[in-house]
Chains A and B, each alone.
Chain A
């Protein structure tokens, strides 16, 4: 089980957010125990990450620090200053209480352990 998510295949829940946000790049890997979601959020500090799981919809927000220091002016811009929002609809029950999140070098890694009922099992032939 190993999927590279594209916006189409993972069918994120549509958001009715009007605020200017962008969807981060992400990648989902999984095995029999857990899903691992890796989200690229450069520029987001630890306290800028907000996670929420409700009705099987995982919402990840990453707020960038957008305040420009005084006296600083932009000469050339290619990078988007927008903060990030990602919503994923989970089709498998996960252990909400055992979810872990790690932010390192601008990459947020979430581990979503599968609930016992969702794990694959072997059925012995009698």
Chain B
């Protein structure tokens, strides 16, 4: 019987694996090319400090926070911001989403028993919620292993056209 731990690879491991296969197309911020990435990312939001800080890793702020970092995509349309996380194999009850002091934190924890092997892992990620989000109306859904948190923009932050009198 193999003594190898039957652990589901975490995104960190995932990144290494993918990188090793030289197949990577995205630019995960925990790799060496952070500066390119940040420049690319911050540039469009110069002058919008709340958006520039949209992404925030709690682990960097509070090193004591455990759990591996979960990757995130953030999209925006006219009415909402969307934060997406990959959580393959996780059920609704394994995922916890908290909003605290302008920080949205997603944490996932899972224990699995597979024959003689038992594995557990935890993942976490925080993003700071920009100003002008209607926090009461934040909603989340888990589908096909992707968690999407929808953050509706408050009325006064939506784009509108102003008519000239």
Residues of chain A having any CB pair with chain B under 8 Å? 2-4, 7, 20, 22-23, 25, 27, 29, 40-45, 68-69, 71-82, 103-107
Say whether A76 contacts B145, CB under 8 Å: no
How many whole Å from A100's CB to the nearest CB in chain B?
18
Contact of B87 among A20, A44, A76, A106 (CB under 8 A): A106
A7 touches B23 (CB 8 A): no
Q: Are A80 and B146 in contact (CB under 8 A)?
A: no
Task: Specify the main secondary structure of chain B where it touches its partner.
Answer: loop
- CB neighbours of B41 from chain A (8 A): 75-76
Choose, from B6-14, B60-68, B99-107, B131-139, the stretch at the interface.
B6-14
Given contacts A43-B144, A107-B145, contact A79 B71 (CB under 8 A): yes
B2 at the interface (CB under 8 A from A): yes
Against A, the Cβ 8 Å flags (1 = close, 0 = not) of B17-48 are: 11011011111110000000000010000000
**By the criterion CB–CB under 8 Å, are B77 and A72 in contact?**
yes
Which residues from chain B contact A107 at a C-beta distance below 8 Å? 88-89, 145
Kindly report which residue of chain B lies nearest to residue A69, judged by CB atoms: B77
Q: Which residues of B contact A29 (CB under 8 A)?
A: 6, 114-115
Task: Report Cα–Cα, A55/B144, bound state, in Å.
Answer: 31
9 pairs of residues in contact across A and B, judged by CB atoms under 8 Å: A4-B6, A20-B25, A23-B18, A25-B8, A25-B9, A29-B114, A78-B72, A79-B84, A106-B144
User: Contact flags (1/0) for B69-95 with A, using CB distance below 8 Å?
Assistant: 001111111100110101111110000
How distant is A22 from chain B, measured CB to nearest CB, in Å? 5
B1 CB within 8 Å of chain A: yes
* Chain B residues whose C-beta falls within 8 Å of the C-beta of A4 in the assembled complex: 2, 4-6
A29-B114, A43-B146, A106-B144 as given contacts; A79 in contact with B86, CB under 8 Å = yes
Partner of A73, one of B25, B71, B77, B114: B77
Contact partners of B76 in chain A: CB under 8 A: 72-73, 75
How far apart are the CA atoms of A29 and B2 in the complex, in Å? 11
Given that A69-B77, A73-B76, A76-B55 are contacting pairs, would A40 and B18 also be in contact in the complex, using a CB cutoff of 8 Å? Answer: no
Q: In the complex the two chains form, what is the Cα distance from A73 to B76 in whole Å?
A: 5
B145 contact from A20, A77, A80, A106, Cβ within 8 A: A106
Q: Which of A23, A41, A68, A71 contacts B78 (CB 8 A)?
A: A71
CB–CB A79/B26 < 8 A: yes
Interchain nearest-CB distance for B108 vs A (Å) = 12
State the CA gap A41–B74 with chains docked (Å).
20
- On whether the beta carbons of A106 and B89 are closer than 8 Å, the reply is yes
Other-chain contact of B24, A3, A7, A80 (Cβ < 8 Å): A80
